Amino acid sequence: MRKRLLMAESAQAPLPAVNFLYFDEVGNGYLKGARCIDCGAVAPGDRLVCNACGARARMESVRLSERGTLYSYTIVHRSFPGVRTPFIAVIVDLDGGGALKGTLLGVKEDPREIRYGMPVKVVYRDTGQTSPEGRPFRSYYFVPSGMSPDE
Amino acid sequence: MSDIYVVGIDMIPFGRYPTRALASLGAEAALLALDDAGLGIRDMQALYCGNLMEAHLMVGQRILREIGQTGIGVVNTANACATGATAFREGLIAIKAGLYDLVLAVGVEQMGKGLLGGAKRTDGFVEEGVLGSGTMPAMFSQIGLEHAKKYGTTFTQFAKVAVKNHHHSTMNPKAMSRRETPLEEVMAAEMIAYPNTKLMCSINVDGAAAAVIASESAARRLGLMDRAVRVRASELTSGPYTPHEFAIPDFNLVTQNCARAAYESAGMSASDLDLVELHDCFATAELVHYENLGLCPDGEAGRLIDSGETALGGRIPVNSSGGLLSKGHPLGATGIANLYEVATQLRGAAGARQVSGAKIGLTHVCGGSPDRGSACVIHILEKA
């Protein structure tokens, strides 16, 4: 019964927007990364060789932190045709290593509302986009760390 | 080792040539550079061609079909915004290696209008707006705000770069846009990605530039030393690792490393320079590169633009050509066009925008793309 349900769901199962985003058995997202045992550098996804120090076969699989701080940003007013603007494009330093680019939600698109170093957290949302087979693309986004997940 | 010289160099006016073929633009620049040297295609022993958008389509060979298929070796290069400068440098290296005495380097590009790049992935997913932004203005705005975070650089200071470069372009007949843009107009222009407004973004144009590069013995043998420009340094770097590697390409360290190598190989420092043509793809980029190139100490770029020292007439004029902001930025041509500006200044032939007494100048190009990496080329030229 449980197995059949999962199979029925799989046709509509979400697709990750990036190759280092995974979903666990109950559909919760998590971000996979690789950490170098030698130099400590953290990169998204799986890696064979460390791009920071060149060490080979020294990468251990980790989950990227879902907490971080805002390193830099811009407010995008003009983008490619069909992309809704404005939005806040951020670079986030993840606690425990690694950095990601992403979109910051839950903050007004105004430089006065955005603080360098502000704590943020990762949330997983549907992107509103679907694959040709009709499967929804899901992605990670950033929100201010105080915000409740449903806002 | 003997020096390498630029003995002929020129560019076509940057603009929009929708009815012209790409190769014909490159051919026109090549012929102008050959004329400048008083040489012909039969004197050239190899061609180095920089083009980005048609990198796999034998652009160098197509140019030779326009100006003479002599059968010489052709190397086609692609290296982001450093494409043209990389082609030039490859030609220079071949002469340094003793393979040739005289080579031609051409940079050429035909661009569409609007934002570079596309939004859609092969699986149909549009990353833009979900995974932040991959547009060039957004990337360089993030770099500008990184500087603002560290040093308190203001929107007004970034905007002043555009005022200065647009002013310079009014004296350059080969620039695309030749009109004054007062500070209020720059700041009130359409915001593209904060803090870069439309007038703080380089213009997508078509263009071509070319150079004839010679060994010292060839330059002397052909009697070309009187207008020759000596290449004192030619350096190339790629973006080194930074912890932000997967979030944004590095444009600072890649330039700092390249500048350090160039000053070292020329036996000079930034204080020896009389002028600089640097990669102002966006106004924010010019300010961070002031520091990356050592034109001022770290954290002083905002003060440097405020002081007027980088304007024509100032201590170290930057982008006397009008820069990419007003001259335009045809990706593959830009690197050689920057060399043209500095060579023209060193020859004392820059007309109304002449930097008086210019003896040493630096050219810098630096580019990259999100999720890929970055490239930087720096040349230091000296009046021979």
Helix H or strand E segment including B35: helix B22-37
Query: How does pLDDT run along chain A (151 residues), one tens digit per residue?
Result: 444 445 445 668 999 999 999 999 999 999 999 999 999 999 999 999 999 999 999 999 999 999 999 999 999 999 999 999 999 999 999 999 999 999 999 999 999 999 999 999 999 999 999 999 899 999 999 999 988 755 5
B58: pLDDT strictly greater than 70: yes
Cβ-defined contact of A139 to B248 (cutoff 8 Å):
no
Cβ-defined contact of B243 to A101 (cutoff 8 Å):
no
Residues of B carrying an active site annotation: 81, 329
Q: Helices (DSSP H) in B222-330: which residue ranges?
A: 253-266, 283-292, 301-307, 323-327
Of B129, B241, B244, the CB nearest to A83: B129
Cβ-defined contact of A71 to B146 (cutoff 8 Å):
yes
Q: Are β-strands B196-197 and A99-104 bridged in parallel, bridged antiparallel, or unpaired?
A: unpaired
Helix H or strand E segment including B185: helix B183-188
Provide the shortest C-alpha distance from residue B241 to chain A (in Å): 5
Cis peptide before A111 (omega within 30 of 0): no
Question: A120-133: b or e for each residue (b if 16 or more CB lie within 10 Å)?
Answer: bbbbbbebebbeee
Provide the shortest C-alpha distance from residue A132 to chain B (in Å): 8
Task: Give tens-digit pLDDT for B160-172.
Answer: 999 999 999 999 9
B367 vs B353: CA distance, rounded Å: 27
Test mutation, A19, A21, A59, A72, chain B, max B CBs within 10 A: A72
B180: pLDDT strictly greater than 90: yes
B119: pLDDT strictly greater than 70: no
Mark which residues 147-166 of B lie under 8 Å from A by CB.
Answer: 149
Task: Give tens-digit pLDDT for B124-140.
Answer: 899 999 999 999 999 99
Cβ-defined contact of A78 to B192 (cutoff 8 Å):
yes
Provide the shortest C-alpha distance from residue B372 to chain A (in Å): 13
Task: Give tens-digit pLDDT for B335-361.
Answer: 999 999 999 999 999 999 999 999 999
Report the percentage of chain B scoring pLDDT > 70. 99
Residue B189 near chain A (CB below 8 Å): no
Q: Which residue of A has its CA nearest to B195?
A: A74
Cβ-defined contact of B131 to A44 (cutoff 8 Å):
no
